[in-house]
Structure 1
Amino acid sequence: MISKKILHVVVTVFSLGSSAVMADTSTEQPVPPVKFLQLSETVWMHTSYKVLKKFGAYPSNGLVVVDGANSILIDSAWTDAQTTEILDWARNELGHPVKQAIFTHAHSDKMGGVGAVLARGIDTHALALSNQIASASGLMPAEFDLTLNQNDKALNFGPVEVFYPGAGHSADNLVAYIPEAEILFGGCLIRSARAKRLGNIADANLMHWGDAVGSVRHQFPDATLVVPGHGEPAGAELLALTLQLVTEHGR
């Protein structure tokens, strides 16, 4: 039985180093390989990196959730090449090939690898607004639109519940919850324990961000492990931290 405490999360980590890509920076710093962290018996976190001149190798998280003989991908990596590594890992190492993919908003850290997923014939889903934004911003949209309005009842994808709390980090940010494991994927709506500010707010709705986090907390009160879009997983205190940052820096 997997403990509900973050300190007892299974920390089996794999890294794939054969296909590391080089970022287009003056230093040509190599991008670290994609990594995988086991969060429960059926949920793994994938972390991919992009080298940013200001921050160096910057991580972005998503999930692979086992669903019977197959699995569900929540968010791509930054690139098609990194996302291909994730898909290969799910098929060859995990033994549960990805059959569905859900993308939580239309930024390159979450939808930069949609093309790799589509190339495998995998069903891809994103909020209708995300697909519109992706098409307008040069990203590949998902094949299927999710017709979710703010605070609608969560949509079920097998073991995954998908919820739209309204605008926050972006106008289209979704969250995902795995009830069996009590794991909440907050995506970029939720900040990590090390965050001092709200991060990228170029597309943010600062006035509604706090309300969106409150809706997530109300919708999923049993969440014991929260995965932010960037940084380490922790407990439900990440929601309170994000609300604090919104109050301090978001208005």
Structure 2
Amino acid sequence: MNLIHQSLFALLLTFISLNSNAQQQKTFQPKEVYKTDRLIITQISKNAFVHTSYKQTNDFGNVPCNGLVVRNGKETIVFDTPTNDSTSHELIQWIESSLHCQINAIIPTHFHDDCLGGLKAFDEHQIPSYAYFKTIDLARANNYTVPKNSFSDSVVLKLGNQYIVARFFGEGHTKDNIVGYFPSEQILFGGCLLKSVNASKGFLGDAVVTSWSATVQKIKNEYPHLKLVVPGHGSYGNQQLLDYTIKLFSGE
């Protein structure tokens, strides 16, 4: 093999290697990394984990409820608590002992107990809690554990050498529903504001259905390049969840 052919061959190998690495990153295979009767943790990307706990309801049975853990280095931030304090203790223990990470913050995305039902456990671990000011007002009015730190419109929190954004875009599932965004992996935690594909409208007791589609449209406009979207209930996916939710409530 002459020098020119050797150089071309080396370039080809480099291209194949780079392409292979890109494909591996692109096709991350989600995996269940923890499971008990009351808590399931699924890794959906290199630094994001969906935590799923359960809430017994009269109308919808035993409902799986999602939250999200995002990580950078040895630091994590959690969106939504599990549904009760004991399961929240379990999640905190897993983050500290299995991920070997500290928890910088817990952020409930609205005032219902599938978002902050386990907040007392985070308080007991001295983990700072942040919530939209209306969430704090509604938690107090309903005699729930109240988040410690409030924000209006949005908050940006440091996570290692990255950051997350929690932001209110408008009313929908509730008057206080926010979403969380992890820019480094282009992941959106939509909470109960976003529906999994083919889901029903769900509980509407505190909803503002006439605003719902417009609120989600604002999110879609703000984050046009999302790779992963996690709803409050059901399967995660991509931007299709935003489109589905917009369509579901477009006639309201």
SS of the residue aligned with 2:96?
helix
Q: Structure 1 residues 206, 56: closer, same or farther in 2, change over 3 A? A: closer
Identity fraction in percent? 31
| Per-residue deviation, 1:170 | 0.4
Within the candidate set 33, 37, 54, 2:42 is matched to: 37
1:156 — aligned with what? 156
Deviations 1:161-215 (A, max 9, x none): 11211111000000011111111111111000130x2111111111111110011
Alignment of 1:45-194 (within 5 A): 45-148=50-153, 154-158=154-158, 159-194=163-198
Q: Give ranges in structure 2 of 5+ residues lacking alignment.
A: 1-21
The answer to whether the 8 Å contact 2:33/2:43 transfers is no
2:13 — aligned with what? none
| Per-residue deviation, 1:9 | 4.0
Whether 2:238 is the aligned partner of 1:219: answer: no
Within the candidate set 15, 22, 25, 2:34 is matched to: 15
The whole-number CA distance in structure 2 between the counterparts of 1:132 and 1:34 is 29
SS of the residue aligned with 2:166?
strand
SS of the residue aligned with 1:39?
strand
Amino acid at match of 2:217: G
The whole-number CA distance in structure 1 between the counterparts of 2:68 and 2:229 is 12
Within the candidate set 228, 235, 245, 2:248 is matched to: 245
Q: TM-score, normalised by structure 1?
A: 0.85
| Per-residue deviation, 1:53 | 4.3
Q: Which protein shows a greater Rg?
A: 2
RMSD, aligned α-carbons: 1.5
Amino acid at match of 1:222: H
The answer to whether the 8 Å contact 2:133/2:152 transfers is yes
| Per-residue deviation, 1:51 | 2.7
Deviates more, 1:89-98 or 1:50-59: 50-59
The whole-number CA distance in structure 1 between the counterparts of 2:124 and 2:32 is 27
Higher share in helix: 2
| Per-residue deviation, 1:3 | 4.1
| Per-residue deviation, 1:16 | 4.1
SS of the residue aligned with 1:208?
helix
Q: Which runs of 4+ in 1 moved over 6 A?
A: none
SS of the residue aligned with 1:84?
helix
In the alignment of these two chains, the number of paired residues is 226
Q: TM-score, normalised by structure 2?
A: 0.85
The answer to whether the 8 Å contact 2:216/2:246 transfers is yes
Amino acid at match of 2:50: M
Q: Structure 1 residues 168, 54: closer, same or farther in 2, change over 3 A? A: closer
